[in-house]
Chains A and B, each alone.
Chain A
Amino acid sequence: MRIKEHPILTFEAKEEIQFYYNGERIVGYRGDTIASALHAAGVKKLSESIHQQRPRGFYCAIGNCASCNMEVNGVPNVRTCITPLEANMDVRQQVGKGRVR
């Protein structure tokens, strides 16, 4: 779901970087946030609500609402909408409030 043509903006070809989503290898671009790379790869559900396990995606994309919290490299509650993507990141849907490994 990347934008290829745009009347105003140009999206130059960027370096591809690999990372892991729930153990599965995914490709994103340098300059992505974790959430934008996941969204481009078709992953909309990022977390589950704590009590009723309802699916959650991002909402604000500016680090304000915690709707995009995931476990990144073993650290829970990372706001993936403002965290730059890095090669080989281990990104996982976290369970409940998350737990530090």
Chain B
Amino acid sequence: MKRAEFVIIGAGPAGLRAAKSLLDAGAKVLIIDRSDLLGGQLTKQTHMFFGSEKQHASKRGIDILKLMVDAIIEHENLEIITNATVVGLYKDFVIGYVKADVYYKIQADSIILATGASEKAIPFENNDLPGVYAAGAVQTLMNVYGVKPGEKVLMVGSGNIGLIVAYQLMQAGVEVVKLIEAASHIGGYLVHASKIKRLGVDICTNMSVKRALGKDHVEAVEIWKLDAQWKGIEGTEETLEVDTICMAVGLAPLTELLQQLGAEVKYVRELGGNVPVINQQFKTSIDGVYACGDVAGIEEASSAMMAGEIAGIEAALSRGYDVENAANRLNELREDLSNLRNGPHGEKIRAGLAKLGVL
């Protein structure tokens, strides 16, 4: 069986940064990702990022990604396997993955999980019709492959993802008919909301989808007003002619592999669902196994990068590697991370981390 000292599962911002720390420490690193592109969510983020200036905020996501990839890609100690889905993670640190229908196994000494998250859906009649797509899927289709998801879209969810993807749909020449939100207020940053309002998109709060209409794909959607308990109010239905319903209703961490391994996980609503119980070093309940980025709680790319760097340094130290200036760098990163989370938008994260016992 192939051996690798450090295996990173997932090549999003968290995984790429963890790889950089390990390579800098002189370690050999193997990254496995199921996509054929490196970068996870960043491959499709064409907007200027919010977040920490030190983590390149105000650059476009795709440009931040290029910086991160360029920083490691030529390194002789780095091996990358793409188009490979990890399907098994065993207690003896054997990792099983499938590539082109063949199952391979690797024996690792230390594992860093950076698998990110999957997008949620909400229940309504016909929510399984083609044309009901997750916001990230719509972004991938447009910004990576240059294909429009449809011509007329209803956006569901007013968090930053809903607001940003609505704007990106318009950049691609797609009409955003309306943006609806179940809560009584807009969830994302007001700058993003104002931008799409100025472009004529109607943002309606206290509203949700009653059902999608259409035979083989979405042809229209019925929306309705919600009462304070988020129940639909009969008689308030409105039908919109759209061919796409874009769901930006949150993400859930992809912790299944950690659960297979027997790492302790806990349901924390504020962090998006089941998250691994980790400590300050981003180590899970199992020695030698680290989790960083969205898989450890839905946050943002800035925090995923810092978490990845911390996890990488800690993993290197734990196996006896010398990391130059480790203590200072770790302190600096932890401080930056807590500054980011102490901002007005970090309230939910702080509540979640407190429940997890990390704060």
Residues of A within 8 A of B (CB): 1-9, 11, 31-33, 36, 39-40, 44-46, 49, 54-65, 75, 81-82, 84
CA distance A81 to B146 in the complex (A): 14
CA distance A46 to B133 in the complex (A): 13
Q: Report the minimum CB–CB distance from A21 to chain B (whole Å).
A: 15
Instruction: Find the B residue at minimum CB distance from A8.
Output: B46
5 closest Cβ contacts across the A-B interface? A57-B130, A61-B137, A36-B145, A11-B146, A44-B130
If the complex has contacts A8-B60, A61-B140, are A82 and B147 also in contact, measured as CB distance less than 8 A? no
Residues of B within 8 A of A (CB): 34-36, 46, 60, 83, 85, 101, 118-119, 121, 128-134, 136-137, 140-151, 171-173, 215-217, 254
CA distance A46 to B142 in the complex (A): 18
Q: Report the minimum CB–CB distance from A29 to chain B (whole Å).
A: 8
CB pairs A–B below 8 angstroms (14 shown)? A1-B151, A2-B146, A3-B172, A6-B172, A39-B141, A44-B217, A45-B216, A55-B216, A58-B133, A60-B118, A60-B134, A62-B136, A64-B254, A65-B118
Known: A1-B151, A58-B130, A82-B36. 8 other contacts (CB 8 A): A3-B142, A4-B173, A33-B145, A44-B130, A56-B130, A60-B134, A62-B140, A64-B118
A61 and B134: CB pair below 8 A?
A: yes
B36 and A6: CB pair below 8 A?
A: no
Could you say which residues of chain A place their CB within 8 Å of the CB of B130? Answer: 44-46, 55-58
CA distance A94 to B215 in the complex (A): 19
Q: Report the minimum CB–CB distance from B302 to chain A (whole Å).
A: 21
Q: DSSP class of B's interface residues: helix, strand, loop or mixed?
A: loop
A84 and B216: CB pair below 8 A?
A: no
CA distance A33 to B144 in the complex (A): 10
Could you say which residues of chain A place their CB within 8 Å of the CB of B150? Answer: 1
Q: DSSP class of A's interface residues: helix, strand, loop or mixed?
A: loop
Could you say which residues of chain A place their CB within 8 Å of the CB of B151? Answer: 1
Q: Report the minimum CB–CB distance from B347 to chain A (whole Å).
A: 28
CA distance A56 to B129 in the complex (A): 6
Could you say which residues of chain A place their CB within 8 Å of the CB of B136? Answer: 60-62
Could you say which residues of chain B place their CB within 8 Å of the CB of A84? Answer: 36, 83
CA distance A4 to B352 in the complex (A): 43
B128 and A49: CB pair below 8 A?
A: yes
Q: Report the minimum CB–CB distance from B263 to chain A (whole Å).
A: 20
Could you say which residues of chain B place their CB within 8 Å of the CB of A57? Answer: 129-133, 217
B35, B60, B141: the one contacting A36 at CB < 8 Å is B141
Q: Report the minimum CB–CB distance from B153 to chain A (whole Å).
A: 13
Instruction: Find the B residue at minimum CB distance from A5.
Output: B173
Could you say which residues of chain A place their CB within 8 Å of the CB of B128? Answer: 49, 54-56
A63 and B34: CB pair below 8 A?
A: yes
Instruction: Find the A residue at minimum CB distance from B115.
Output: A64
Could you say which residues of chain A place their CB within 8 Å of the CB of B85? Answer: 63
Could you say which residues of chain A place their CB within 8 Å of the CB of B137? Answer: 58-62, 81
A7, A36, A59, A75: the one contacting B147 at CB < 8 Å is A36
CA distance A27 to B71 in the complex (A): 37
CA distance A91 to B31 in the complex (A): 30
Could you say which residues of chain B place their CB within 8 Å of the CB of A5? Answer: 173
A60 and B141: CB pair below 8 A?
A: no
Could you say which residues of chain B place their CB within 8 Å of the CB of A40? Answer: 145, 147
Q: Report the minimum CB–CB distance from A81 to chain B (whole Å).
A: 8
Q: Report the minimum CB–CB distance from A36 to chain B (whole Å).
A: 4
CA distance A32 to B133 in the complex (A): 18
CA distance A39 to B243 in the complex (A): 13
CA distance A14 to B118 in the complex (A): 30
Could you say which residues of chain A place their CB within 8 Å of the CB of B146? Answer: 2-3, 6, 9, 11
CA distance A56 to B132 in the complex (A): 10
B147 and A2: CB pair below 8 A?
A: yes
A45 and B217: CB pair below 8 A?
A: yes
Could you say which residues of chain A place their CB within 8 Å of the CB of B149? Answer: 39
Q: With a 10 A CB-CB cut-off, give which of A1, A2, A32 has the most chain B CB atoms.
A: A1
